[in-house]
A = this chain, B = another copy of it.
Amino acid sequence: MTLFRGLVAFPITPMNADGHVDTAALSRLVRRLVEAGVDSIGVLGSTGSYPYLSRAERRRAIEAAVAEAGGRVPVMAGIGALRTDEAVLCAQDAKAAGAGAGLLAPVSYTPLTEGEVFTHFETVAGATDLPICIYNNPGTTHFTFGDALIGRLSRLPNVGGVKNPAPETAAAAAISALRVLTPTGFSVGYSTDWNATEVLIAGGDAWYSVLAGLFPGVCKEIHSAVAQGDHAKARQRNEHLSSLWQLFRNFSSLRVIYAAANLIGICDAVPPLPIQPLAEPARRQVAETLDRLGLAT
């Protein structure tokens, strides 16, 4: 299966101030990704603001993306929710809307124990035959998966991979530690765009990318160079993007990518309040960086 492999691109979910999804704009974003030949499209990731959307709007977003992808590229969808019963419903909705996989984060308010997260995943996975990717994103969920817990979860029949934040260093050791604890074929993939190149070189199975959700071409260049064994080229292309990575670090990839999407004119979207769009001078920095990188159009 091609799920949880290669370059997985996560677009924003354009919506109005009331959280109503602009499916036409989302379809334009998805079309761009299909045409660029990404391996999968991830809608309703953290970049897709899934926790800020109602169940009905989440379903509309998935349906629009699946329709636009038209079977050419698999669509995975965020299915996380604060309550277990709601995550079950979101998983079933995603399946019904045609998603090929679900991305499940342990969204929390009251801090969760390892046992609670295991049971949450077991319940959601058991309520659907949708292939599920463990979404480990401590920066938003405030739960950090240890390798042992990922190992236990990887034994659930339809849990097929993990999306971990890419480590700053020692990627090879991180990957082999997980390989030991997970079955053959279980996908060990990574987010955190600015560290992704080294993780791909170290053997990561997938790059879950925010930048690729808007600019798939530059990310595909890196991914393809690694796939062809041309690490020097991959590193050079990654280095070329360093000013953009710095903006991601400074202002968050979400806020930067919203600004970029508006700047290139593909949509006119703002993140859901209380999250605010980038103000000046940050927005101008994004504009200048896109210009310099030849991404502005």
Contact = CB atoms under 8 A, between A and B. Distances in A.
Interface string A206-237: 00000000000000000000000000000000
A275 to B, nearest CB: 5
Contacts of A116: 274-276
Contact of A112 (B83, B112, B139, B275): B275
A46 B83 CA distance: 15
Interface in A100-143: 106-107, 109-113, 115-117, 119-120, 123, 139-142
Interface residues of A, number: 36
Tell me the dominant secondary structure on chain A's binding face.
Answer: loop
B274 A109 contact: no
Count this chain's copies in the assembly. 2
A141 to B, nearest CB: 8
Contact of A110 (B17, B106, B113, B275): B275
B109 A46 contact: yes
Interface of A: 17-19, 46, 49, 51-52, 82-85, 106-107, 109-113, 115-117, 119-120, 123, 139-142, 252, 254, 271-276
Given A17-B85, A109-B141, 18 more contacts: A19-B83, A46-B109, A49-B110, A52-B109, A84-B274, A85-B273, A111-B140, A111-B252, A112-B274, A112-B275, A113-B276, A116-B274, A119-B274, A119-B276, A120-B273, A120-B274, A123-B273, A142-B142
